Structure 1
C-alpha cells in the first residue's frame, strides 16, 4: 500500500482502512497480533503517533483489543464488524450516488438494475 500524503484523507485513516482490508482479506486473522505503531511507522515512513491514531480508530471500532504489555490483537468478530460497517456506510453511499446519477441521466430503474446484473455476471466470469 502506498500512503497518499497529498490526498484529502488523513494518513491515520488510510492506515486504519488498509488494516481493515488486511483483516477482510484474512492476511491478519482473528486473535492474531496486530502490527505495532512502530512497525507501521517504519513500514510507511510515518510518525508513530500517526500510526497509533490509526490503530486507535480500530480499537474504538471494536476491531482490535489491547492486551496489556503485549500489544493489540484482532477481535474474533472483526471481519463481521468491518463487513457490516462498510456495507451499511460505504455501499449505501455508493448506491445513493449511483441512483442520483442514473436519475440525472434519465436511466430507468429497470435499466439500472439490468446494468448491475450484467456487471455482476461479468464479475462472476460468465
Structure 2
C-alpha cells in the first residue's frame, strides 16, 4: 500500500508541475497577445517571444518538480520538458490535425522544452 502511495505521488508531482507550466504558458501568451494588439509586433518578434515562453514555462515547471523530487532533479526536469513538448504536440495535432512547419522547427522546440525543464531542475 505504501509503495502505491509513493508511486502516485510521483505522478502527482509531474501533473502539478505540468499544470503550473501550462498556466504560465497561458498567462504569458495572453500578455503576448495584448502586446501584439497594442504594439503591432512583427512576425519575428512574436516567434521569438513564443520560444521564450516555452523555455520560461518549462524552466518554472522544472524548478517545481526539482523541489518536489529532491533527487535526480535534472532528470525529473528533463522528463517534465519532454512531457510538456509531448502534450504541446498532441494539442497541436488535435487542433490542426497536422504538424505545421518543418522537422527542424519541431526538433528545435523539443530541445528547448527539454533543456528548459532540465535547467529548471538543476537550479531548483
Same fold (TM over 0.5): no
Judging by fraction of residues, say which structure has more helix: 2
Higher relative CO (CA 8 A, sep ≥ 6), structure 1 or 2?
2
Which structure: larger Rg?
1
TM normalised by structure 1 equals 0.32
TM-score (norm 2): 0.33
Higher strand share: 1
